[in-house]
Amino acid sequence: MTAGQLAGRFSHSWPTTTRHLGVLTAAGLIKVEAHGRERHYLLDRRHLRTVAGLWFGSLDLLVGDDDPHPDQGAPS
């Protein structure tokens, strides 16, 4: 998607969109490809999976296995 297409999905300003895209690009979560004058932003799913796994793993360390409600929040 282009930055304009992404910005059209949210109710904030264009500079906010481009700042967020810059942060996500710097973090390696999205990649940018030039197509003429446009820039297309692509999600790097593999890197996102890695980062999400690390983040959720750190939550397990904080909560631990002694969670008194292990089935809460689980889909039925």
For the chain, the domain total comes to: 1
Tens of pLDDT along 6-43? 888 988 888 888 899 999 999 999 999 999 999 999 99
Strand bridging mode 38-43 / 30-35: antiparallel
pTM: predicted TM-score of the whole model, two decimal places = 0.65
74 lies in a domain?
Answer: no
72 lies in a domain?
Answer: no
Tell me: pLDDT of 53 over 60. Answer: yes
Please classify residue 54 by burial: count the beta carbons closer than 10 Å to its beta carbon, then call 0-12 exposed, 13-18 middle and 19+ buried.
Answer: exposed
Please report, for the domain that includes residue 56, its CATH number.
1.10.10.10
User: 29 with 51: CB under 8 angstroms?
Assistant: yes
Residue given tokens 């030039």 in the structure block: 34
User: 47 with 29: CB under 8 angstroms?
Assistant: yes
Q: Mean pLDDT across the stretch 49-72? A: 73
15 lies in a domain?
Answer: yes
